[in-house]
Amino acid sequence: MARTALAMMFSVLFSVVVSSPALAKSAPKEPAKKSAAVKKHPAKTDSKPARKAVAKAGRDAGESRSKGKVAPLVAQEKLVRKVTRGKKGRREVVYQRVAPAPAVPLVPPVMTAGDLAGLNLTRDPLDLKSNAALVIDQSTAEVLFEKNAQIALPIASITKLMTSLVVVEANQSMDELISVTEEDVDREKFSHSRLRVGSQLTRANMLHIALMSSENRAASALGRNYPGGLPAFVAAMNAKARSLGMVNTHYVDSTGLSSSNVSTARDLAKLVIAAHHHPIIRQYSTDSKYAVEPGGPMLQYRNSNNLVDNPDWQIGLQKTGYISEAGRCLVMQAKIEGRPVVMVFLDSKGKSSRLADAGRIRKWLENARPTALGRTITAQSS
């Protein structure tokens, strides 16, 4: 009996000793006293709504952590607490909502038809930036350099060289006035034109600015004013291509705005040789500037190829072209070291890269004076 009483007393004492720390731990703590400085000078702009916003953000973050998630303070903006000194040196706490800097969207590079075909993986000894290129000796039609020259690609405004050839060989009056209409407005690429609807120019002036400055509405008006209209003109372009042996070439319009205008570097060399036979095409394509009066203020046009103003170059014919599917394109006839050559560059990357490629070819021809590669490029007829 005595032992039982002693055991009960020992059990009670043990439970009291063990539970004391737990009771102390669970007892509510007395709130900490604020400093006298804070009591004396309360923050003027530490507003109740701002404090509530911070508290709510803290609760939200705590709830997210309890669920095993990491949550930002605020998705679109966050509160930033700043402590400053106001008038008379008083401490002020300011909460400001700060929006994060807008993310810059990543714009993927435009893939040309040549890139999609994998031509950008082709390397060449001159490190040309054009996906396709061809250089021939005009006197012998022998190939001096080529790179993917047999692949058909969009040719953009190089199309206008065939447009000019068909116009010149149709023997229509060059003095006839041609008007720009709504049909000539670009509804595919929405390209800009300085020729307003209602403008009137002679066929010669339309041809001049179409060749020299790649004026799209002028090229469209030339095709539309062909006997039988634009469909007949496009048919004549394709017939001329076949007669020149341009077997991998196809045209659908007179401007080149459609990516369905396709050709190869080899075919375009034949076109350059044929077009070079016409003095008017040589002159119009290589003039550095030209002014026209379309029924309003005079318009001054400049050549789209800066090399025509370079005295170090002797350019007999040229045409540039660009749409996103085709990249930067250029065809030229020039004399280098007294040697007439035809150069074709398709799908070049960078605004000046096609001209830089022409410079690389010229330097190579001047220094290496390469011989023919054993192939020739000849037109069947002109």
Q: Check residue 352 and report its DSSP letter.
A: T
Any domain includes 62: no
* pTM of this structure: 0.72
Q: Check residue 83 and report its DSSP letter.
A: E
Any domain includes 17: no
Any domain includes 173: yes
Q: Based on the number of CB atoms within 10 Å of its own CB, is 278 exposed (0-12), middle (13-18) or buried (19 or more)?
A: middle
Q: Which one of 214, 254, 259, 263 is the catalytic residue?
A: 214
CATH of the domain at 251: 3.40.710.10
**Are the CB atoms for 107 and 99 separated by under 8 Å?**
no
| pLDDT tens digits, 59-105 | 554 444 444 444 444 445 666 677 777 666 677 777 777 776 666 66
Active site residue 214: yes
pLDDT at 107: 62
Q: Which one of 157, 164, 254, 285 is the catalytic residue?
A: 157
pLDDT at 35: 43
Any domain includes 83: no
Any domain includes 134: yes
Q: Which one of 129, 147, 160, 319 is the catalytic residue?
A: 160
Q: Which percentage of the chain shows pLDDT scores above 90?
A: 66
Number of domains in the chain: 1
Q: What distance in Å separates the CA atoms of residue 348 and residue 126, rounded to the nearest whole number?
A: 14
Q: What distance in Å separates the CA atoms of residue 249 and residue 261, rounded to the nearest whole number?
A: 8
pLDDT at 159 over 60: yes
Q: Which residues of 86-116 are buried (b: 16+ CB within 10 A; e: fewer)?
A: eeeeebbbbbeeeeeeeeeeeeeeeebbbbe
Q: Please name the residues in contact with 160: beta carbons below 8 A apart, sequence gap of 6 or more.
A: 210, 211, 214, 219, 254, 255, 256, 319, 321
pLDDT at 3: 47
As given in the structure block, the two tokens for residue 49 are 């709504």
Lowest mean pLDDT among 17-26, 142-151, 158-167, 245-254: 17-26
Any domain includes 374: no
Active site residue 260: no
Any domain includes 176: yes
Residue type, 262: V
Q: 278, 274, 169, 164: which is closest to 223 by C-alpha?
A: 164
Any domain includes 38: no
Domain residue limits at 156:
113-368
| pLDDT tens digits, 294-338 | 998 999 999 999 999 999 999 999 999 999 999 999 999 999 999
Q: Mean pLDDT throughout 278-282? A: 98
Q: Please name the residues in contact with 189: beta carbons below 8 A apart, sequence gap of 6 or more.
A: 257, 323
